[in-house]
Structure 1
Amino acid sequence: MFATRRADLVLILVALIWGSSYLSAKTATAALPVLAVLFARYAISALACGALIGLRRRPRRWTRDEVRSGSVLGITQAVVLAVETYGVAHTSAANAGLIISLTIVLTPLLDRREGRRLPPAFFVAAGLCVLAVGLLTSSTGLHAPRLGDALMLAAAVIRAGHVALVGRLTVGRPVNPLHLTTVQTVVGTALFLPLATPHLPELAHSSATTWYQLVYLALFCSVFAFLAQTWAVQGTSASRASLLLGTEPIWAVAIGISLGGERLTVWTTLGAALMIAGTYWGQAVERAHRTSTPMEESLRSCRTARADGAARRPGAVVASSPARSSSRSRGDTT
């Protein structure tokens, strides 16, 4: 029980840290160009991951899957963070945290590895989230989405594709999470270095407050959050973990209002409520569908196997299903 509660507290802490990342990114981009912020975040993360690997007494050998998958995912993750950071720079931290939570309902739509159709209730929940986005992009009334809101919406779509790609490249393969994260951070650093080179002098002369934000984004919002999530999930259920991590937009709104001085109008408050309700509902519907379908398929296979076994036994009679029996009766009477 104590281990479960400790895992729950760690997952809530991860959600809080991720929720605070939007205000930190907004503060950092107010002092530095977005490309400089992205390069610094990746470079510090890469150094931290390298230090963690160096501290291991028995370092594990790297595999080709880790390097190949990490390289591809490093590119997609860099695109996600680039669009997301540009979006945060042009909208409120609260709006950013709420809109990006669309990833929860978008990911199952893109991740169709199992080829199962989602139930209608899931699409209703997704529609509720889309309506919430429309309300969140309004302040005093409905209007076209602002640049930052549109970028956060694009970031949610790209992140959903990135998450689906993570599943396709890592499921069933011997991939070490720390190795994978290290490759991604190195790839991101290499991608943003040439783009951020003109801003390096500005980065070097940044204030202590700006560097604090950059270090916080790199060490806490990236490296620590990922490793803590991996550890905590092992001490609880996947459903419980996803529920606790799903509180991220709530923390984003709370921190944006309390520390960032942001405020929600009536329209955006309604949008926030619909977004949280829609994402939680869609998450619950998808999880229930994902866990129930394999069980139904297993029961169906067992029934088929029993019927086949009974048919192979000498003198066995296999009972017809009610549907087949009624069709035969109708055929006899015509």
Structure 2
Amino acid sequence: MDKTTNGWLSGFAGMLIFSGSLPATRLAVQSFDPVFLTVARATIAGSLGLLLLLVFRETRPERRDLLPLVVVALGVVVGFPLLTALALRHVSAAHAVVFIGLLPVATAIFGVLRGGERPQPAFWLFSALGSAAVAAFALRHGIDASPFGDALMLAAIVVCGLGYAEGARLSRHLGGWQVISWALVLSLPLMLPLAWWTRPASFDGVGAAALWGLAYVSLFSMLIGFVFWYRGLALGGIAAVGQLQLLQPFFGLLLAGVLLHEQVPPSMIIVTMIVVACVGGARHFSRAAPARRAV
């Protein structure tokens, strides 16, 4: 299997894992404060990441990697989880999840700025069409949504796109699981005391669904998903593999319908087919066009 195909398969696995993040967060914030949920998931995943680094005796990152790792931590360990948890206090998971369709554009832009990638112009056309389809779907079925919740989701998309691109760039020489583990460990000295300080006065009223939600976002969304996702971005290209997230809203909507009994509109099938076509087109034009040989 060639490197690009391997990258797309790894990215697809990561996207599937991330698809459950917003529905799981929605379950968790029904019993947990958004701030506690953010720091608790980072503390749990950071403790596991530290254990992995110690067991496999990974060498410490070089000094030049520390600032990019801080950017990763601020983007995907703190920023995106906190902003989405706050947003889900105002909007449903089925509405919030469609904003994930804007992540490929944000990731591709930061992939150009930070990763040095140069997709062909047609790539941006397919990426914009896919994002437009997702945005139109959101507007069509989210008229009653909270503007404040939508603003929080848009901010989450920006910081997450930066964290994805920066983490993928680091993964090329540090490794996928090592990047997210080091980012989690860097944030652990802050997250651990905050988790203790913001903990609920009592866990007696916390339901099983909220605990399962916390477990999922801590183990899968915060750690395991990134093992596949950063590997996919590093092997297949940040801009290209990032387009797989156009599919994430629809897998997330299916999960929201099954787990949370939220309404899933039939038009989702049509929009999903359009998005799949756009992902295919974006993949085809994700690499820079070969230079023409002089005659």
TM > 0.5 between the two? yes
Shift of 1:44: 0.4
Matches within 5 A, 1:116-155: 116=118, 119=121, 122-123=124-125, 125-126=127-128, 129-130=131-132, 132-139=134-141, 142=143, 146-155=147-156
In 2, Cα distance between equivalents of 1:7 and 1:107: 16
Shift of 1:190: 4.2
Please tell me whether the aligned partners of residues 71 and 183 of structure 1 are also in contact (alpha carbons under 8 angstroms). Answer: no
| Residue of structure 1 equivalent to 2:184 | 185
TM-score, normalised via structure 1 length: 0.69
Matches within 5 A, 1:19-30: 19-30=19-30
| Residue of structure 2 equivalent to 1:325 | none
In 1, Cα distance between equivalents of 2:7 and 2:251: 18
In 2, Cα distance between equivalents of 1:240 and 1:108: 8
Aligned with 1:291 (options 283, 287, 292): 287
Shift of 1:152: 1.9
Deviations 1:105-131 (A, max 9, x none): 232234334585852673475256346
Matches within 5 A, 1:118-267: 119=121, 122-123=124-125, 125-126=127-128, 129-130=131-132, 132-139=134-141, 142=143, 146-167=147-168, 170=170, 174-192=173-191, 198-202=197-201, 206-229=206-229, 247-265=247-265
Shift of 1:260: 1.0
Please tell me whether the aligned partners of residues 96 and 150 of structure 2 are also in contact (alpha carbons under 8 angstroms). Answer: yes
Highest Rg: 1 or 2? Answer: 1
**Segment of structure 1 superposing worse, 22-31 or 58-67:** 58-67
Shift of 1:104: 1.1
SS at match of 2:59: coil
Deviations 1:85-140 (A, max 9, x none): 2223322222222211211123223433458585267347525634642542454x
Distance 1:41 1:102, change over 3 A: same
Matches within 5 A, 1:67-86: 67-77=66-76, 78-86=78-86
SS at match of 2:262: coil
Please tell me whether the aligned partners of residues 106 and 157 of structure 1 are also in contact (alpha carbons under 8 angstroms). Answer: yes
Distance 1:29 1:189, change over 3 A: farther
| Residue of structure 2 equivalent to 1:54 | 54
Shift of 1:223: 1.5
Distance 1:181 1:137, change over 3 A: same
Percent identical residues: 20
SS at match of 1:180: helix
Cα root mean square deviation, aligned: 3.9
Shift of 1:34: 0.1
Count of aligned pairs: 288
In 2, Cα distance between equivalents of 1:195 and 1:160: 25
**Segment of structure 1 superposing worse, 95-104 or 28-37:** 95-104
In 2, Cα distance between equivalents of 1:54 and 1:194: 22
Distance 1:245 1:108, change over 3 A: closer
Shift of 1:229: 4.3
**Segment of structure 1 superposing worse, 97-106 or 176-185:** 176-185
Listed as ranges, the gaps of 5+ residues in structure 1 are 308-334
Please tell me whether the aligned partners of residues 63 and 175 of structure 1 are also in contact (alpha carbons under 8 angstroms). Answer: no
**Segment of structure 1 superposing worse, 239-248 or 252-261:** 239-248
Q: Structure 1: which amino acid aligns with 2:153? A: M
Q: Structure 2: which amino acid aligns with 1:88? A: L
Listed as ranges, the gaps of 5+ residues in structure 2 are none
Q: Structure 1: which amino acid aligns with 2:138? A: L
| Residue of structure 2 equivalent to 1:332 | none
Shift of 1:11: 5.8
Shift of 1:74: 0.9
**Segment of structure 1 superposing worse, 80-89 or 109-118:** 109-118
In 1, Cα distance between equivalents of 2:100 and 2:121: 23
SS at match of 1:102: helix
Matches within 5 A, 1:289-328: 289-293=285-289, 295=290, 297=291, 299-300=292-293, 303=294
In 2, Cα distance between equivalents of 1:10 and 1:23: 22
Q: In the alignment, is residue 91 of structure 1 matched against residue 77 of structure 2?
A: no
TM-score, normalised via structure 2 length: 0.76
Distance 1:212 1:47, change over 3 A: same
Deviations 1:185-239 (A, max 9, x none): 13444445565555314375545543332122111222222224466789x9669
Shift of 1:32: 0.8
In 1, Cα distance between equivalents of 2:156 and 2:80: 6
In 2, Cα distance between equivalents of 1:128 and 1:151: 22
Distance 1:273 1:152, change over 3 A: farther
Distance 1:125 1:10, change over 3 A: closer
Shift of 1:79: 1.4
